[in-house]
Amino acid sequence: MVIDFARKRVSRAGADVRLTPTEWAFLDLLARNVGRLVPREQILTTVWGPAYAKETHYLRVYAAQLRRKLEQDPAHPRHLVTTSGLGYTLEP
């Protein structure tokens, strides 16, 4: 996976991956903290705004969408890792 921050583009295995603005914001936040756990509340407030700080179902939906687009095996993710009850980590 290659992330081009300047152009807001992602490619996987040499092919461009189309992301929605929300998917991009979620991935961008994780990628800027690669290898570190990003708490659920931080993701929600950064991507959706402070009013969404407790709407954790948004994270499950968008994480699943990103995994389908970015992971080789979305059912067994290697890169977009969930730490149950805490948050998400983007692993290199």
In this prediction the pTM is 0.92
Polymer length of the chain: 92
**Residue among 72, 75, 64 at smallest CA distance from 15:** 72
Residue 20, SS3?
Answer: coil
Q: Identify the CATH number of the domain in which residue 76 sits.
A: 1.10.10.10
Let me know if residue 15 belongs to a domain: no
Identify the residue whose tokens are 């009850």: 85
Residue 23 in contact with residue 90, Cβ under 8 Å? no
**Average pLDDT estimate for 57-65:** 95
Number of domains in the chain: 1
Let me know if residue 36 belongs to a domain: yes
> Where residue 19 falls among pLDDT bands split at 50, 70, 90?
very high
Instruction: Please report the beta strands in the chain, taking only residues with DSSP state E, as ranges in sequence order.
Output: 2-4, 9-12, 15-17, 38-39, 80-83, 87-90
Domain interval for residue 51: 20-90
